[in-house]
Amino acid sequence: MYRVALKNEDDFAGWRKAARALALADIPPEQVEWQVGEGGDLFAGEGAGAAPPDPPEGAEFSVPRQFMTLAEDAFAHPDKHRFEMLYELLLKVRATPRAIMDVGDPLVSRLSAMALEPRLEALEKRNDKDAALAELIVEAKDCKRCPLYKDATQTVFGEGAASARLMLMGEQPGDQEDLAGRPFVGPAGQMLDRGLREAGIDRAETYVTNAVKHFRFEQRGPRRIHQKPDTSHIEACRWWFAQERVLVRPPVTVALGGSAAHALLGRKVTIGRTRGEPIPLKDGLEGWVTVHPSYLLRIPDKTKAEEEYGRFVEDLKGARKRAKELA
Ligand code: SF4
Site to probe by mutation for ligand 1, drawn from 116, 146, 177 as the one with most ligand atoms within 8 Å of Cβ, is: 146
27 and 97 in a single domain? The answer is yes
Query: Mean pLDDT of all residues in the chain?
Result: 92
* Residue 134 included in any domain: no
Is the pTM of the predicted complex or chain greater than 0.95?
no
173 and 293 in a single domain? The answer is yes
Distance 193 CA to ligand 1 centre (A): 25
| Predicted pLDDT at 48 | 46
Task: Determine contact, residues 126/132, Cβ cutoff 8 Å.
Answer: yes
* Residue 279 included in any domain: yes
Higher pLDDT, 6 or 45: 6
48 vs 57: CA distance, rounded Å: 21
Q: How many domains does the chain have?
A: 2
158 and 280 in a single domain? The answer is yes
112 and 225 in a single domain? The answer is no
**Long-range CB contacts (< 8 A, 24+ apart) of 236-239?**
236/101, 236/103, 236/145, 236/146, 237/145, 237/146, 237/211, 237/212, 237/213, 238/112, 238/116, 238/211, 238/263, 239/112, 239/115, 239/116, 239/143, 239/145
165 and 243 in a single domain? The answer is yes
* Residue 128 included in any domain: no
Ligand 1 close to Cβ of residue 236 (< 6 A): yes
* Residue 37 included in any domain: yes
pLDDT, tens only, 162-189: 999 999 999 999 999 999 999 999 999 9
93 and 177 in a single domain? The answer is no
Which residue range is the domain that position 42 belongs to?
A: 2-121
Residues 6+ apart with CB under 8 A from 95: none
What are residue 2's DSSP bridge partners?
32
Alpha-carbon torsion, ordered 38, 39, 43, 48, to 10 deg? -90
Distance 214 CA to ligand 1 centre (A): 6
Q: Which of 121, 136, 163 is the last residue of a domain?
A: 121
179 vs 286: CA distance, rounded Å: 32
Task: Determine contact, residues 190/311, Cβ cutoff 8 Å.
Answer: no
100 vs 66: CA distance, rounded Å: 7
Ligand 1: residue whose CA is nearest its atom 6: 214
Ligand 1: residue whose CA is nearest its atom 7: 213
* Residue 229 included in any domain: yes
Question: What CATH number should be reported for the domain holding residue 239?
Answer: 3.40.470.10
Q: What percent of the chain has pLDDT over 70?
A: 97
* Residue 143 included in any domain: no
172 and 39 in a single domain? The answer is no
160 and 116 in a single domain? The answer is no
User: Mean pLDDT, to the nearest integer, of 255-273?
Assistant: 94
* Residue 126 included in any domain: no
* Residue 129 included in any domain: no
